[in-house]
């Protein structure tokens, strides 16, 4: 992505939902966060911190503002470091939404549909 003008302020919406019946479980709902502070702050919720650390590895997205005009920002081959994620004792589907908003316009939107599986050792019978 490339901006026509420098971005000095933006906001972020970040939502993680674990689908359940009859009502989905909202694990994390961060709305209208100050994007500059969010990207610069490394003392985040652990799951968010892992996401930001992965972004740093697979992109040139800066850790704070301003984002310069006419500069190409990219995210390529984004993966989470599974060894760095805390152990889960359950299996579940997980849906995540991430929006970047500037002056009322959505600049970037991402949706990830994933599944958390427990690691099993041994052979399947």
Give the C-alpha separation, 115 to 52, whole Å. Answer: 20
CA dihedral in degrees (115, 121, 122, 125; nearest 10)?
A: -30
Model confidence at 7: pLDDT above 80: yes
At residue 27's C-alpha, the angle toward residues 21 and 31, to 5°, is 120
Question: Looking at 8-22, 30-44, 56-70, 71-85, which range is the least confident one?
Answer: 71-85
Check residue 19 and give its pLDDT: 92
Check residue 15 and give its pLDDT: 94
> Beta strand 92-102 with 25-34: parallel, antiparallel or unpaired?
unpaired
Split at pLDDT 50, 70, 90, the class of 87 is low
- Count other C-beta atoms under 10 Å from residue 35's C-beta: 21
**Domain residue extents for the chain:** 11-116
Regarding pTM above 0.75, the answer is: no
Query: What integer best gives the mean pLDDT of the chain?
Result: 83
Check residue 116 and give its pLDDT: 75
Check residue 86 and give its pLDDT: 64
Specify the higher pLDDT residue, 92 or 109: 109
């Amino acid at each position: 992505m490339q901006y026509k003008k420098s971005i000095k302020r933006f906001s972020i919406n970040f939502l993680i939902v674990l689908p359940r019946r009859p009502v989905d479980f909202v694990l994390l709902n961060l709305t209208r966060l100050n994007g500059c502070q969010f990207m610069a702050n490394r003392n985040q919720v652990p799951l968010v911190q892992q996401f930001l650390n992965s972004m740093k590895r697979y992109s040139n997205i800066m850790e704070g503002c301003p984002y310069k005009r006419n500069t190409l920002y990219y995210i390529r081959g984004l993966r989470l470091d599974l060894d760095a994620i805390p152990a889960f004792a359950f299996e579940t589907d997980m849906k995540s939404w991430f929006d970047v908003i500037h002056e009322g316009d959505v600049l970037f939107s991402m949706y990830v549909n994933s599944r958390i599986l427990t690691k099993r050792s041994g052979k399947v019978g």
